Structures are given as C-alpha cells and as structure tokens.
Structure 1
Amino acid sequence: MLEHGAAPPAADSDPRPPTPAGLGTRLMRRKPVERLVAEGGQGEGGTLRRSMGVWQLTMISIGATLGTGIFVVLGQAVPDAGPAVILSFVLAGITALFSALSYAELAGTIPVSGSSYSYAYATLGELIAWVCGWCLILEYGVSVAAVAVGWGQYLNELLDGTFGFTIPDALSAPPGDGGIFNLPALLVVLLAMVFLLGGAKESARANTIMVAVKIVALLLFCGVAIQGVHSGNYANFMPLGMTGVSAAGATLFFSYIGFDAASTAGEEAKNPQRDLPRAIMLSLIIVTTLYCLVAAIAVGAMPWQKFKGSEAALAGIMKDVSGQDFWAVLLAFGAVIAIASVVLTVLYGQTRILFAMSRDGLVPKVFSKVHAKSGAPRANTVIVSLFCGVLAAAIPLGQLADATSIGTLFAFALVNVAVVVLRYKRPEMPRSFRTPLSPLFPVIGFILCILMMLSLDVVTWIVFGVWMVVGLVIYFGYGMRRSRLAPAEK
C-alpha cells in the first residue's frame, strides 16, 4: 500500500546473466523491497488482517515500552548513577531517538511485519538479516521473560495490601533469587497468549485499556510522591560520575525496548506508510517524558542508596510518603496491569518477527501458519509463549535485562546502517518519512548504540557471543539452504 499520489518504486533489476551462486553471493542475497511489500500479510493457510490505525499502533509501542524501566529496572539503575539516573534516562532516550528516526523512515518505506529483520534483508543481505532477526528474538523473547519476572514482585505487593498474604518465594521468584519456580511469571505470559490467540484487533483493544491504566498509575505516583521530595536527596547528584550515568543508561535502554513494536505490525496496519512513522515517534516522546518525570520524583522522595535490590521501588516510595497502604496497593495494581501490557505487546512483536522469518524460509513453516478464523499465527503464538513462560520462571531478572539490551542495541545499530544503504541504493523510492540530516543522524545513532554496547559487562558480551554462535549454526545448518531466495540461484 502506497500513500495517495506516490508512484510505485522501480523494481530491482540486474542485467547480468544468472551465474551459479557462490557462498559469498548466497550470504549477501537481498530480498527486493517490492517483493517484501507484495508478500505482506501472506502466511501459510491464511492472511493477517489490516485492522489497526495510528492510535492502536501508538498504543502498541507505548504498551511494549512504558513500565519496564520505571516499574522493574529503576531499582537496578539508581545504585549505578545515583540521582543522576535522570540523566541516564535522557541518555538512553537520546540513543533511542536517533534509532527511532531510522526506524520511522524504514517502517514507512518497507511496511512489513519483520521490522529491522526485513529492513536488513532488503539492504544488507541475508546473513546480516538473519543476525538481526536472531538479535530480535533475543530482544523480544527474553524481554518478555524479564518483564514477567518483575510482574510477580508487584503481584505480591497487590496481594499483600489487598488480602494480607503473598505467594511464597519458592513459587514467585526464579532459581537463584530464593525461588524454585516463578509461577506468576509463567501465568502472565500465558494470559497474554490467550489475548493474542483472539487476533490482532482484540489484542490491540485490550492493550489500549491497559496502557490507559498504567499512565494513570504513573501520574498518580507523581501526584503523591512529590509531597515527599527533599532537596537533600539531590545533593550528591552524580556520586559515581559519568561512568555510572553511562552504565545506568545502558541498563535503562532496556526500558526503551518496545518503541519499535509498532513496526512489527506493518502488515496489520490500515495505512502503514503514514501511520507507522507517526506511531513510533509519538510513543517515544510520551514514554521519555513520563520516565524522566517519574525518575526525578522517585530519587527526590527516597535516598538513592535505598534503591539497591528493590524491584518494586515505586510502591515502597508511595507507602513511605503517604504513610498508608492504600496508595501503594493502588500503584501495585497499576504496575500489575502495566507490566502485563508490556508482556502482551512484546510477545506480539516476537511472534510477528518469527512470522516474517518463517515466510522467508529461514525458520520452520509452523511459525507462518495463520488461523483462517482469527487471522492470527496461532501455532507460532503458542510455541513462543510457552518458551518465554518457562524462561521467565527459571532465569533471574538482572541477567535477562542486560542480555536484552545488547541484542536490542545491535539490531538498532543495523537499522541505522540500513537507512543509509537504502538511501544510497534506492534514492528514488517514495518515503513517507525521512530521517533528518541523513546520513549524519543515522551515523550518530549507530555510534551511540555501539558505545552503549561497550559499556555493558563482560558477562553480557559472553552471553551475546554464545547466542550469536548458536544463531549462526542454525542459519548455516537450516536457514541458508531453506531460504525462499535459494531456488532462484540454482
């Protein structure tokens, strides 16, 4: 679908006669933009349905983003940066902004479900596309698990304040954190799965309601907690210097994961060329504003040293400031809804990434099978949900958050490269949104992503390296030979 009045882009052409493809050629084979767009919505046995406008798309990105950093990861970031965690949010937000501009251009130009995986396939070649898609699996799949782990913490806050009991640690915390099996984390993933099985339209409606609840909850926190702000809590503003601010910023980048979620809905949007760029930019502005506001009030209301080890910091602040359990319980309810919304929308994005990769032949066909009645990839949804649910129940939160950040940063870096490549190779293509000052802004976005990756722990890099090796083994053993572009080269 093109914007009204836009001419269709010229097809890729190659006047050279076909020759047997060597390994290098196969690794660099690109999928033409026209073919990507033409295949939009098509799956095994059915098609995805175009049912979402700019409002629903914006809510998907906000739903996937808003909540993780504030409700879950804030307690890990403040001990690194102190009150300067506000600057860490700004740093992470600026890093996200440059990449968001690149995402907005590509989402409007290549409006398909594969997000940065598909953008890389059209510009950088199949191997890079696979690496990008593999990073997205890490980004979306693991972040679902990480967020679900934090959901159990707030569920216990809610149960304690409402009914006076909590789920025992053995059943509400992952191994390594005093638990045997994190049952709430598994349950929230399965609940999201039920919504997704009903179809994109129904999931989007439920998500919009949940997003409204969590925005109200955060504004409520600001209204109550600001009464407990003490200027002395800002006195030693940057106790660990810019090193701490940068380290916290890298961790907090986890809280911006999701602004690109709208780009995974490219094949279920009514007018993707117009609405996807708007949804991506609008969601990032709203989320960054709320994050900075809540963080500034939180560190003003509680000394930064007390944040260490707290995964439900906001509820504790509400209780301390008001002296009443009521406000903390109300915030815990908002957090339960907020984090459930993140699980729902990020899980949605994960299934659509795998849908696109499956349609290209790089992963099994089961992931691109579409249920004729609901228009949803049901088998895909069930498989991904069960995997993420078990992961959430078995892995500690901190390691998950950092592993997700590095995968996201790598994928975002590739998106910035893809914008420059597509501008160079296909300058005539109609673009509903153009990244300002290209190639300067994409280059800045790329550099910022790499710098934030370098600030992550060595252990995180080891995990990322192992993940990449596993991905390459799968690609060379399965994806490269089964790619739908392969038969054309034989």
Structure 2
Amino acid sequence: MAASDTDRDVGTNIEGERPDVEPTVETDDATITDDSELERTLGLTGGLAIGIGTMIGAGIFVFPGLAAGDAGPAAAVSFAIGGVIALLVALPTSELATAMPKSGGGYYFISRGLGTLPGAVVGLSLWFGLVFATAFYLVGFGYYAVDALAELGIEVSEQVVIPVALVAGGGFTVLNLTGTENAARLQNGVVALLLSILVVFLGFGVLDSVGLVGEPTAPEQFAPFGYVPVLSVAALVFTSYLGFAQVATVAGEMKQPGRNLPLAMVGSVLIVTVLYVATIFVATSSFGANRLAREGETAMVAVGRDLLGPAGAFAIVFGGLLATMSSANASILSTSRAIYAVGKDAILPGWTSRINLTYGTPHVALGLAGGPILVLTATGQVEILAEVASFLHLIMYGLMCVALLALRRDEPEWYNPDFRVPGYPVVPILGALASFALILFMDLASQLIGLGIMVATACWYYYYARDVRLKGAL
C-alpha cells in the first residue's frame, strides 16, 4: 500500500531524545524489525580504512591520465580544490554525525534538519549516486586486472574488462552479506598494503621530479588549456572524495562515534588530499601530461615502469587492483546502508530494511545495491559514471551544510553533538556554496542525468511516502 493511503508517523515519542525510526515491518525468521539496529563493530581504524580506501582508488590510479589530458600539470590544482571542498563539508558532516550517529549518513541528517521531502530525495539519490560511483570503481578494477595479466605475460583482450568487473562486483556484494567485520577486515588489510606501495612510489617519484634520480624531462606549461578546465576537472575527479561521507553512512556501526566519526572523516580527507596532489605532481613532472593523457585509465602503470622498470609497473598494477578493490568494497557497504536507512524510515517498503539474523547485515538492501551496480558496470562508461556520482553527492553535501545551519538555528532539545564545527557559520556556508558551484562545471549530460534521478526520486516520494512524518525532524 502506498504511503498516500495511510498517514504514517515514524520515530520516538519521548520528548528530548535523538530522533529514531521504528516503522512496522513484516517479520519472518530472517528479519529483525521495529527498533532493530546494526551492531557497533567498527573502530577508528575501520572508519579511516573505509574513508581512505574508498577515496584512494580512482583518484590515484584511474584519473591521472584523464585529468592531465584535460588540464595539463594543473590537474594537481584540481585535486587540491576537490580536497578543500571535501574538507569544508567533512567538518559539518562530522558535527551532524556525532549528533545523529545512525546508519544512512547524509540522508538521515538532511531528513532531520530540512524535512522529509528533501531527505527522501537525497536518500534515494544517494542510493543511485553510490551505485554510479561503485560501477565506476569496478570498471577501473577491470582495467587494472587486464593490465595485471599483461604484466604476468598473459595477453587478453580489453573485452574482458567488463566481465571481470561484474564478477568482482558480485564477489564484493557476497562478502558484505557475510558481515561488516569481514568487509572491514578486508578493507584494513588492503589500505595498509596500498599505503605502503604509495609511500615507496612517491618517495622515489619526488626524487625523480626534482632531478636527483632518473632522466630529466622537458618543462611543460603549467595550465596549457587555461584555468576553466582546472575547475571542470575538479568536478570530474570529485568522485575521488566521496569516501569521507561514506564513513557517515556506517555511523550506526561505529564504536565511540563522538570521537571516531570526526577523526575518521576529517583525517581521511587530509591524508588522501596530500596523496592525490603529490601523485599528480610526481606523474606530470616525471612523465609529462601529454604522455599521461595518451595512456588513459592505466597511465600510472606507465609512470611506474618509467620510474622503476618492470618492478615499478607491477607494483602500480598491484596497487591499482588494491585501490579499486577497496573503493568498490567500501561503496557497496555504504550503498546498502543508504538503502537500509530510507527503508527503515518507510520511504521505501519496510522489507528493504530487513536484517539477516545469521550475519547481522541488511541482506535485502545489499541485493538492491548489487543489482543496479552490476547493470551500470556493464556500460563501461568511466567518465559519465564518475560525474553523475559526483553530481548527486555534491547536492547532498551542499544540503548537509544547509541542514547544519537549520539545526544550529533551531537547536532542538535532542541536538547535542560531541563535535562542533570550528569557524561556524562560515565553514558550512562556504561548504554549501562550493558544493553547488562545482556542479556548474560538469558536463551537461551528467547534469541532466543527475537532475533526472532527483526528479524521479521526488515523484516516488509523492506517490509512496508523502504522508510519512519523521518525529524529531524540523
């Protein structure tokens, strides 16, 4: 039955408590209902691993060739701009997350700060935004898998990129079904290995770029195409910074959320921004922007070979596999939690928030995440997948900053965050303006697809959930 047929109030009735959600959901032997919550099993290391592991994939291993082709060596500035915007949003998000440490992230914050309609549009759009992002990561994984086989002397056609990506997507979905701790354990190990590879690569690359080792390269114009493409590339590569917000989507599973959520979100943004800028600087200085552009999605493999020979190429291929693997794995986890949150709030049918008793994971939400991800992965359209994901996330980021302003203005009794944004209200205002402004520099097709998804989600709200009232929302 659609929500329009009956008025539904969800949330607590106890005045002064933090808003929660307790919709009535059909029960069976594999379902936990009503006030069920996911178990808190993630610590600070797990939160950082989700943030860093999600962000570090595409930014370092897939985008350098594409970004250098559009902006030249100034692509490093594009990544720096993305990092600054991400930081301006990570700080307000940290405050919201410590006030409302619930699964769902941006959806939960916006629905409680701005109301059910904006929350529903953002929550459903976050579902699709994460689906687009995950499909992008999986396609990148497919490219690096083909390159890994080539480094081992096994030549295969690029036609196997998509089948490999699809198999990986199915595997990660099953892994997340078996428990958050399993997914987090994989994430921690992958990120530790990945950071070790990058530290060695960047250390040697910096020596090469300043001329202490290797062959000198001809100097290039820093911004050969002007500075407008720098902003366009910043909009494209912003997909690389989605990881910090994905930490918020698993806030309901974080231990000591008041301490660990801000540290995980802000820390992952700072660490990854430094790595991005350093990598692009090394790549363009030692290899040249034009050569990077010719190499495309796997340009960093050529950079590794140029710096350290076959061993360097293999290290980058292995790192690329780890990076795209960690991004995809963390994104599938976060996608399912976004679906779980809107289902628990009755924006979607109640069965979407069922929790499997055996593994303690939202198995239906994982299925609703994995299916669309595999469909989009099959398209193989790297740039448009990345930009649509960025579009939908930037809308959410801007509205999260607005939600913080609204909550600070009204200060409901339950709003008692353990972390408060320094520089309020300047930081959230700048975060909102920067997020919305970056959208203007995106490709028109990406903007239209993103707007189409938002219109579709608003239509769903009016058809199914317009009578839902979230107690505790402003």
TM-score by length of 2: 0.89
Q: Could you say which residue in structure 2 is the equivalent of 1:66?
A: 56
State the distance in 1 between where 2:100 and 2:457 align: 25
Q: 1:374 to 1:33 in 2, by over 3 A?
A: farther
Taking only aligned residues, the RMSD between alpha carbons, in angstroms, comes to 2.5
Deviations 1:60-119 (A, max 9, x none): 111111121111122211122211111111111111111111111101111111111011
1:362 aligns with 2:351: no
Query: Which of the numbers 155, 179, 190 marks the counterpart of 2:170?
Result: 190
1:210 is aligned with what amino acid? V
SS in structure 2 of the partner of residue 36 of structure 1 = coil
Query: Which of the numbers 27, 37, 41 marks the counterpart of 1:51?
Result: 41
1:204 aligns with 2:184: yes
2:379 is aligned with what amino acid? A
State the distance in 1 between where 2:470 and 2:77 align: 46
Question: Cα offset for 1:292?
Answer: 1.2
Q: Could you say which residue in structure 1 is the equivalent of 2:334?
A: 349
Query: Which of the numbers 160, 166, 173 marks the counterpart of 1:171?
Result: 160
Q: 1:312 to 1:480 in 2, by over 3 A?
A: same
Query: Which of the numbers 429, 434, 452 marks the counterpart of 1:466?
Result: 452
Question: Cα offset for 1:251?
Answer: 1.1
Q: 1:121 to 1:33 in 2, by over 3 A?
A: farther
Question: Cα offset for 1:121?
Answer: 0.9
1:313 aligns with 2:296: no
Question: Cα offset for 1:435?
Answer: 1.0
SS in structure 1 of the partner of residue 103 of structure 2 = coil
Deviations 1:124-162 (A, max 9, x none): 011100121133123211100011111111111111111
Q: 1:110 to 1:233 in 2, by over 3 A?
A: farther
Query: Which of the numbers 227, 230, 234 marks the counterpart of 1:242?
Result: 227
Q: 1:364 to 1:33 in 2, by over 3 A?
A: farther
1:216 is aligned with what amino acid? S
Query: Which of the numbers 176, 187, 199 marks the counterpart of 1:219?
Result: 199
**Where do 1:137-156 residues align within 5 Å?**
137-156=127-146
Give unmatched runs, 5+ long, in structure 2: 26-30
Asked whether the equivalents of residues 236 and 383 of structure 2 are also in contact (C-alpha less than 8 Å), the reply is: no
Asked whether the equivalents of residues 105 and 338 of structure 2 are also in contact (C-alpha less than 8 Å), the reply is: yes
Q: 1:480 to 1:152 in 2, by over 3 A?
A: same
Q: Could you say which residue in structure 2 is the equivalent of 1:179?
A: none
Asked whether the equivalents of residues 53 and 327 of structure 2 are also in contact (C-alpha less than 8 Å), the reply is: yes
Question: Cα offset for 1:38?
Answer: 6.9
Asked whether the equivalents of residues 67 and 338 of structure 1 are also in contact (C-alpha less than 8 Å), the reply is: yes
1:407 is aligned with what amino acid? L
Q: Could you say which residue in structure 2 is the equivalent of 1:36?
A: 19
Higher relative contact order (CA 8 A, sep 6+): 2
TM-score by length of 1: 0.86
Asked whether the equivalents of residues 127 and 369 of structure 2 are also in contact (C-alpha less than 8 Å), the reply is: no
Query: Which of the numbers 375, 380, 386 marks the counterpart of 2:365?
Result: 380
State the distance in 2 between where 1:72 and 1:34 align: 45
State the distance in 1 between where 2:54 and 2:19 align: 25
State the distance in 1 between where 2:78 and 2:11 align: 38
Deviations 1:370-403 (A, max 9, x none): 0112111112213311220221122411111111
State the distance in 1 between where 2:16 and 2:437 align: 31
**Where do 1:422-433 residues align within 5 Å?**
422-426=407-411, 429-433=415-419
Asked whether the equivalents of residues 129 and 393 of structure 2 are also in contact (C-alpha less than 8 Å), the reply is: yes
**Where do 1:278-427 residues align within 5 Å?**
278-308=263-293, 310-322=296-308, 324-426=309-411
1:442 aligns with 2:432: no
1:105 aligns with 2:121: no
Question: Cα offset for 1:39?
Answer: 5.6
Give unmatched runs, 5+ long, in structure 1: 1-22, 173-181
2:17 is aligned with what amino acid? E
State the distance in 1 between where 2:287 and 2:438 align: 28
Q: 1:233 to 1:216 in 2, by over 3 A?
A: farther
State the distance in 1 between where 2:469 and 2:338 align: 16
State the distance in 2 between where 1:377 and 1:214 align: 29
Query: Which of the numbers 126, 134, 137 marks the counterpart of 1:136?
Result: 126
Question: Cα offset for 1:473?
Answer: 2.0
1:109 is aligned with what amino acid? A
Q: 1:222 to 1:296 in 2, by over 3 A?
A: same
Question: Cα offset for 1:232?
Answer: 5.2
Question: Cα offset for 1:299?
Answer: 0.7
Aligned length: 449
Q: Could you say which residue in structure 2 is the equivalent of 1:16?
A: none
Asked whether the equivalents of residues 233 and 299 of structure 1 are also in contact (C-alpha less than 8 Å), the reply is: no
State the distance in 2 between where 1:410 and 1:136 align: 9
Structure 1 residues 461-470 or 227-236, which shifts more? 227-236
Asked whether the equivalents of residues 36 and 112 of structure 1 are also in contact (C-alpha less than 8 Å), the reply is: no
Q: Could you say which residue in structure 2 is the equivalent of 1:84?
A: 74
